[in-house]
Amino acid sequence: MNGRTAGKNGKRVRLSPDERRRQLITLGTRMLREHALEDISISEVAEQAGISRGLLFHYFSSKQDFQLAIVANANAELLTRTEPDRSLPLAEMLYDAVRRYVDYVSENRTSYLALLRRPAGTELMTLVDATRGAQADRIMAEIPLPADHPDRPRLELAVRGWIAFVEEVTLSWLTTETISREQLIEMLVGSLPGLAADPTLIALLGS
Amino acid sequence: MNGRTAGKNGKRVRLSPDERRRQLITLGTRMLREHALEDISISEVAEQAGISRGLLFHYFSSKQDFQLAIVANANAELLTRTEPDRSLPLAEMLYDAVRRYVDYVSENRTSYLALLRRPAGTELMTLVDATRGAQADRIMAEIPLPADHPDRPRLELAVRGWIAFVEEVTLSWLTTETISREQLIEMLVGSLPGLAADPTLIALLGS
């Protein structure tokens, strides 16, 4: 049975170990479009490939090993899909790559959300998220825009993003310390108005 | 023994259940300064509190429950430490709060890194981080700054932060869709030069 799979008309097709491994990863990655990583059923992947669950573990040492192979494949897919088109001028190249990123993430929203948002300890991430939400609310509370102002949704997204920016930059800085604390603070503060690219914020913060 | 702890001169001190719970959380949070959450030893916390390991589980139903209480406490501490000073003008208020955020995170770097960076599945997060690194490298490759240019370290941090911004905004947008896809893309692209607050980038991207 090893290396064989059910073909178009029920006949078993022989695959090389490499082809089989690739097939299983492709099936898993496809399922990632609609299931979180931890919800991908090994039995279902094996069934779709026409092999036994046990045989799948001939190609991957554990469920975790299979999950990692799926994530590595999905990441490679993301990088390929967002590969810059170097025939374009720089500003257009950025625009084009960002557009493809948004579309890729939209197509793979379930898995992408699951992967980046709560990468395991769910209750823990809920707490961390609540803290981010509280930080965003504080900032929004200082911005004198009526609740129904048309710019508000965009600004709310930008503020959430700015908090992620601040966290990432501060954590990277802690491990590298390539600039001074004062430069870091200037950069974090200076980034908010430009990031929101919002005339209201820019006017308020006088940047 | 329940409710008693070793006092200054070895005498046992009676604490109310609330005080005891608070004491254990405070001890755990203090350890978080130098240990990742998962490396905090329950036995050590119990020993420092002068109680048995078993008694600690009288106050917390499981190790995970104790860890969550520590994280909730640390998050509350962060929010208190970064509480905006509303007596200041807006721009200065932001500056002041960001400065306190950077100092808080610097003091608690081990735990903060552990909490936000690899919130459990370590190998998985390494993969996700490698993808982010590849995206940052791609952007830096398009920026014609010599490797030893003094602006480079700041720009590298900003680009890493921008990727976190893009991820957070896109994922929030996916769950809310409060603006159109085109508005989202405009916002992501438009944020890069301002975010980096960098004259080189601003000139290159013509913003």
Query: Quick one: B27 and B99 in the same domain?
Result: yes
Say if A203 is an interface residue toward chain B (CB within 8 Å): no
Q: What is the pLDDT of residue A100?
A: 94
Specify the higher pLDDT residue, B108 or A136. Answer: A136
- The larger pLDDT score, comparing residue A89 to residue B47, is at B47
Give me the mean pLDDT over the A107-122 stretch.
66
Q: How far is CA A27 from CA A21, A22, A69, A134, B168, in A?
A: 10, 9, 11, 40, 28
Kindly provide the b/e burial profile for residues B30-67, where b requires at least 16 CB atoms within 10 angstroms of the residue's own CB: ebbeebebeebebeebbebbbbeeebbeebbeeeeebb
Residue B86: which domain range? Answer: 1-117
Same domain, B94 and B33: yes
d(CA B50, CA A176): 39
Predicted confidence at residue A120, as pLDDT, reads 47
Computed over every residue of chain A, the mean pLDDT equals: 83
Chain B residues near residue A29 by CB distance under 8 angstroms: none
Nearest CA to CA, how far is B3 from chain A (Å)? 29
B130 and B113: one domain? no
Chain A residues within 8 A of B162 when measuring between CB atoms: 165
Q: Is A133 on the interface with B (CB under 8 A)?
A: no
Q: Last residue of some domain: A71, A90, A117? A: A117
DSSP state of A51: S
pLDDT score at B1: 44
pLDDT at A192 over 70: yes
Query: What's the pLDDT score for residue A46?
Result: 95
Question: In terms of C-beta density within 10 A (0-12 exposed, 13-18 middle, 19 or more buried), how is residue A94 classed?
Answer: buried
Assess whether B81 and B152 both reside in one domain: no
B4: helix, strand or coil: strand
With bands split at pLDDT 50, 70 and 90, how would you rate the model's confidence at A1? very low
Alpha carbon distances (Å) from A135 to A73, A144, A160, B31, B72: 35, 17, 9, 25, 15
* Residue among A72, A109, A162 minimizing CB distance to B127: A72
pLDDT digits (tens, 9 = 90+) for A7-50: 445 456 688 999 999 999 999 988 888 787 888 899 999 999 99
B1 and B81 in a single domain? The answer is yes
In this prediction, residue B145 carries a pLDDT of: 79
CB contact under 8 A, B176 and A157: yes
Rounded to 5 degrees, what are φ and ψ at B187?
-70, -40
A contacts of B194 (beta carbons < 8 Å) = 191, 193-195, 197
B83 and B132 part of one domain? no
Q: Which of residues 75-114 of B touch A (CB under 8 A)?
A: 75, 78-79, 82, 84, 90-91, 93-95, 98-99, 101-102, 105-106, 109, 112-113
Is there a single domain that holds both residue B82 and residue B152? no
- Residue A176 pLDDT class (50, 70, 90 cuts): confident
Other CB atoms within 10 Å distance of the CB of residue A71: 22
Domain match, A8 and A101 both: yes
Residue A79 near residue B131 (C-beta atoms within 8 A): yes
CATH number for position B21: 1.10.357.10
> Are B25 and B52 contained in the same domain?
yes
Element (H, E) at A31: helix A17-31
Point out the residues of chain B with pLDDT beneath 70: 1-13, 114-122, 195-207
- The answer, for B126 touching chain A at a CB cutoff of 8 Å, is no
Helix (H) or strand (E) holding A123: helix A122-142
B71 CB neighbours in chain A (<8 A) are 124, 127-128
Q: How far apart are CA B21 and CA A64, in angstroms?
A: 36
Q: Which of B117, B136, B152 is the last residue of a domain?
A: B117
| Contact state of B170 with A105 under an 8 Å Cβ cutoff | yes
The count of structural domains within chain A is 2
DSSP-derived pairing of the beta strands B4-6 and A12-14: unpaired
Res. A2: pLDDT tops 70: no
Considering the domain architecture, whether residues B64 and B104 belong to the same structural domain is answered as: yes
* Site from A83, A123, A171, A186 to mutate, B interface, most B CB atoms within 10 angstroms: A171
- What pLDDT does B87 receive? 94
Domain endpoint, select from A79, A95, A117: A117
ipTM entry? 0.80
Mind listing the pLDDT tens digit for each residue in A65-75?
A: 999 899 889 88
Question: Are residues A49 and A143 located together in one domain of the fold?
Answer: no
- Domain co-membership, A142 together with A42: no
